[in-house]
């Protein structure tokens, strides 16, 4: 997996020498932002899962994922890539899950989600943010409480799963190499 991802990621030296990155100084040159190791990748997955539930379009989520990756010094490309789990096909189930979690935490037991019409198709991009806030206000407190809770829950679970899968992969690779060495030994 690491070898596969390494083919697509730039070398640390080329990042350091890039004129666009150099403008930001040392903020974008921290080694954890670009290297593939267990903690950095697990942190990148967690940040990406959290940023993917920030209301707004993909560029907003990409920017939030990148900013959080820089703040927490985790793998930046992974964090931006993981935000793509929140897309037009998954956003409705994610928001329903967030609403249900918020409803559970707030003990309101409304039972059914309201069906407000978001209607972004006839609006310009500058009108999307106010329409989104109107939609969120119409759904109410359960969604507003559930979104950050679900984002935090997904981030924690994503970190733990990625960390454990990475450790399991390394353990299996060690065992494979040990078997290969013992098979070659006289």
Annotated domain spans of the chain? 2-184
Judged against a pLDDT cut of 80, whether residue 50 lies above it is answered with yes
pLDDT of residue 2: 65
Average model confidence (pLDDT) across the chain: 82
Residue 56 has pLDDT above 80, yes or no: yes
Cβ burial, residue 39 (10 Å; 0-12/13-18/19+): middle
- Residue 57 binned pLDDT confidence (cut-offs 50, 70, 90): confident
Whether the model pTM is above 0.85: no
Cβ atoms of 38 and 163 closer than 8 Å: yes
CB-count burial class (<10 Å; 0-12, 13-18, 19+) for 86: buried
- pLDDT score for 34: 80
């Amino acid at each position: 997996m690491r070898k596969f991802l390494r083919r697509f990621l730039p070398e640390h030296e080329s990042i350091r020498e890039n004129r666009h990155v150099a403008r930001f100084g040392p903020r974008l040159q921290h080694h954890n932002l670009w290297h593939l190791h267990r903690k950095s990748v697990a942190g990148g997955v967690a940040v990406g899962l959290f940023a993917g539930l920030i209301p707004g379009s993909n560029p907003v989520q990409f920017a939030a994922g990148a900013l959080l990756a820089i703040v927490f010094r985790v793998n930046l490309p992974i964090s931006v890539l993981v935000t793509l789990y929140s897309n037009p096909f998954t956003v409705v189930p994610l928001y329903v899950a967030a609403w249900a979690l918020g409803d559970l935490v707030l003990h309101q037991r409304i039972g059914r989600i309201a069906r407000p019409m978001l209607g972004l198709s006839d609006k310009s991009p500058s009108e999307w943010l106010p329409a989104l806030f109107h939609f969120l206000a119409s759904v109410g407190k359960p969604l507003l409480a559930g979104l950050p809770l679900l984002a935090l829950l997904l981030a924690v679970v994503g970190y733990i799963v990625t960390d454990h899968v990475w450790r399991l992969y390394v353990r299996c690779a060690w065992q494979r190499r040990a078997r290969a060495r013992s098979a070659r030994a006289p």
